[in-house]
């Protein structure tokens, strides 16, 4: 059986992420990247 | 990509992650890059839920160093919220669990400050200065803590 590597589920919209984090204990991690997708 | 499972788990547990790719999200990269003054990749920002930047990591780091920096960022964010005991616990976690990274002496310094802010006990600073006489003696953090020597 193939094992799928865990991956981060990235959002693309910073303001949506800000809204998601509001009222939770989470912070936003913004990754400015040039790495191959 | 963050191929290491420990990094994936840490990010998933503590953050809402946003990726802004220089080519794939060029407009967002330009707008957010200007907003946060990000001029290089990789640049990783820890931003609180009010939109305030609390920590910045520029350039690539190996797994242990990166985890240490992420934890250090969480600690600084707690400190900024005035949650000094929570901040101290996170700073000590960096110093203890990532003791070989460059984040460790910074964390040891701020753990002492957080303890002092939480308790108003200057002994926390003296103990920190004593700790720096044993560890990380050649770092700038040891120099900064030296003023707390009795």
More confident residue, A2 or B65: B65
Q: Which two tokens stand for residue B98?
A: 């990532």
At residue A4, the pLDDT reads: 61
DSSP states of chain A as a string?
---PPP----BS-HHHHHHHHTTSS-EEEEEEE-S--
Return the residue in B19, B79, B83 with the most chain A beta carbons within 10 A, the one to mutate for interface testing: B19
Please state, in angstroms and rounded to a whole number, the distance separating the CA atoms of residues B10 and B109.
24
At residue B150, the pLDDT reads: 81
What residues of A are in contact with residue B40 (Cβ under 8 Å)? 32
Residue B53, burial from CB neighbour count under 10 angstroms (0-12, 13-18, 19+)? middle
Helix axes B63-80, B84-97, angle to 10 degrees: 170
Length of chain B: 150
Sketch out chain B's domains with CATH numbers: 5-148 (1.25.40)
Q: Which two tokens stand for residue A14?
A: 């910073």
Across the A:B interface, residue pairs with CB atoms under 8 Å apart total 123
Q: Which two tokens stand for residue B35?
A: 């907003």
Please state, in angstroms and rounded to a whole number, the distance separating the CA atoms of residues B137 and A36.
40
Residues belonging to chain B with any Cβ–Cβ distance to chain A shorter than 8 Å = 1-3, 5, 8-9, 11-12, 14-25, 28-29, 32-33, 36, 38, 40-49, 51, 54, 70, 73-74, 77
Please tell me which residue of chain B has the smallest CA distance to A24.
Answer: B49
pLDDT (tens, 9 = 90+) of chain B, 150 residues, equals 567 999 999 999 999 999 999 998 899 999 999 999 998 999 999 999 899 999 999 999 999 999 999 999 999 999 999 999 999 999 999 999 999 999 999 999 999 999 999 999 999 999 999 999 999 999 999 999 999 998
Please tell me which residue of chain A has the smallest CA distance to B31.
Answer: A14
Residue B95, burial from CB neighbour count under 10 angstroms (0-12, 13-18, 19+)? buried
Q: How far is CA B84 from the centre of its chain?
A: 14
What residues of A are in contact with residue B51 (Cβ under 8 Å)? 18
- Per-residue pLDDT for A35 more than 90? no
Residue A8 near residue B8, CB atoms below 8 Å: yes
At residue B63, the pLDDT reads: 95
CB contact under 8 A, B20 and A32: yes
């Amino acid at each position: 059986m193939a094992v799928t590597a865990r991956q981060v589920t990235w959002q693309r919209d910073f303001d949506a992420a800000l809204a998601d984090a509001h009222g939770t204990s989470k912070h936003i991690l913004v990754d400015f990247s040039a790495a191959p997708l | 990509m963050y191929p290491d499972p420990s990094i994936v788990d840490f990010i998933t547990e503590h953050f809402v992650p946003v990726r802004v790719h220089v080519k794939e999200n060029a407009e967002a990269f330009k707008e957010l890059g200007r907003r946060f003054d990000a001029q290089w990749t990789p640049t990783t920002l820890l931003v609180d839920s009010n939109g305030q930047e609390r920590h910045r990591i520029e350039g690539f780091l190996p797994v242990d160093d990166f985890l240490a920096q992420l934890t250090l960022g969480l600690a600084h964010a707690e400190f900024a919220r005035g949650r000094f005991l929570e901040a101290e616990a996170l700073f000590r976690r960096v110093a203890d669990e990532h003791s070989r990274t460059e984040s460790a002496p910074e964390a040891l310094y701020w753990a002492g400050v957080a303890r002092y802010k939480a308790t108003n006990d200057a002994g926390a600073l003296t103990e920190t200065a004593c700790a720096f006489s044993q560890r990380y003696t050649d770092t700038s953090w040891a120099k900064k803590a030296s003023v707390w020597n009795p």
